[in-house]
Amino acid sequence: MPGGRLTPKQEKFACGYVETNNASEAYRRAYDVGEATKPETIWSRACELLKNSKVAARVDGLHAEARERTMVTVESLTKELEEARKLGKKTDQSSAMTSATMGKAKLHGLLVEKTESKLEVTHDLDAATETLAAVLAARDARK
**What confidence tens digit (pLDDT) does each residue in 77-118 have?**
888 889 998 998 999 998 888 888 888 888 878 877 777 777
pLDDT for res 129? 79
pLDDT for res 25? 95
In a domain, 83, yes or no: yes
Looking at the structure of the chain, the number of domains it has is 1
In a domain, 116, yes or no: no
Within 8 A by CB and 6+ apart from 17, the residues are: 23, 26, 50, 59
In a domain, 85, yes or no: yes
Q: 117, 116, 97: which is closest to 105 by C-alpha?
A: 97
In a domain, 124, yes or no: no
pLDDT for res 143? 67
Query: Does position 1 have pLDDT exceeding 60, yes or no?
Result: no
Within 8 A by CB and 6+ apart from 92, the residues are: none
In a domain, 36, yes or no: yes
Domain, as residue range, for 59: 2-107
In a domain, 126, yes or no: no
Instruction: Band the pLDDT of 49: cuts 50, 70, 90.
Output: very high
Please give the residue that has the higher pLDDT: either 121 or 93.
93
